[in-house]
Amino acid sequence: MSKNKHWKTVWIIGASSGIGAALVQKFIRETTDAEMAKMVISARSADSLQDIAAASPRIASVPCDVTDPAALDEALARIEAEYGLPDLMVYCAGFYKPMPVAEFSRDTIAKHIAVNYQGAVNCLDPILRKMCARGSGEIAITASVAGYRGLPKAGAYGPTKAALINLCETLREELSGTGVVIRVINPGFVETPMTAQNDFEMPYLQTPEQAADFIYNGLRKNDDFEIAFPPPFVRQLKIGRILPYRWYFKMIERVMQK
């Protein structure tokens, strides 16, 4: 770990599966007790968390539901009392269901908002205040490259990720000088039960372990605002952000057919 990164307590939310679970294992493998004393993992599934925590005495399980603000406040209070206020919080909780226009649903959209966006806000509310009062801390919020511009069948998912990117951009500047750093993580397609719902070939598909490598190395090396991967897909979509609409839609049609 970089010598200027001292994360005594790390809190990963959404750690029971997918990217979050892989990131927990990456931290445990790559850090010593002196570099990271405690990894606190949270998610709704207490049983899954217990199985992960059994792998190392450095892992502590604190189940909670990100859609329940009171439960999150209680979880953070417990973590602070037992292990100290986290030095790094990584928000990996997420929900995804493809929503083609024929299945447009306000209920589906509401579920995405509740977990992906409001869930992150529920976590940020207490920990931002506490980190700012302490004068130090790091927060990483997992959004997605799907938040750059609109993508097919992501009408429920993409807007929540765009909102997270915008929120993190806003907070990044406002937190300047406070000692608290906020960052955004923008993965491409990652092989998980959620993306298994897709009925198209996903370009540049990554494993959760590959995603964890990108995130861990990005967190360790610097304080850059964005950790985005895989690089080829990110480059294509970032070019797409500045294209006129007629060119953008043609590009997306071509990329999604790979």
pLDDT band at 113 (very low <50, low <70, confident <90, very high): very high
Q: How far is CA 162 from the centre of its chain?
A: 13
Q: pLDDT value at position 161?
A: 98
Non-local CB neighbours of 249 within 8 Å, separated by 6+ positions: none
Three-state DSSP state, 153:
coil
Q: pLDDT value at position 257?
A: 64
Burial state string for 217-254 with b = 16 or more CB within 10 A and e = fewer than 16: ebbbeeeeeebbbbeebbebbeebeeeeeeebeebbee
Q: pLDDT value at position 200?
A: 86
Q: Where are the domains of the chain?
A: 9-256
> Tokens 């209070």 — which residue?
77
60-94 pLDDT per residue, tens: 999 999 999 999 999 999 999 999 999 999 999 99
Non-local CB neighbours of 74 within 8 Å, separated by 6+ positions: 64
156/6: higher pLDDT: 156
Residue 203 in contact with residue 244, Cβ under 8 Å? no
Identify the weakest region by mean pLDDT among 35-39, 55-59, 248-252: 248-252
Nearest to 76 by CA among 117, 112, 125: 125
Distance CA 164, CA 176 (A): 18
Residue 63 in contact with residue 49, Cβ under 8 Å? yes
Non-local CB neighbours of 40 within 8 Å, separated by 6+ positions: 9, 10, 11, 12, 59, 60, 61, 62, 79, 83, 86
Q: What is the CATH number of domain 9-256?
A: 3.40.50.720
Identify the weakest region by mean pLDDT among 102-111, 165-174, 234-243: 234-243
Residue 25 clears pLDDT 50, i.e. is over it: yes
User: What is the rounded average pLDDT for all residues in the chain?
Assistant: 94
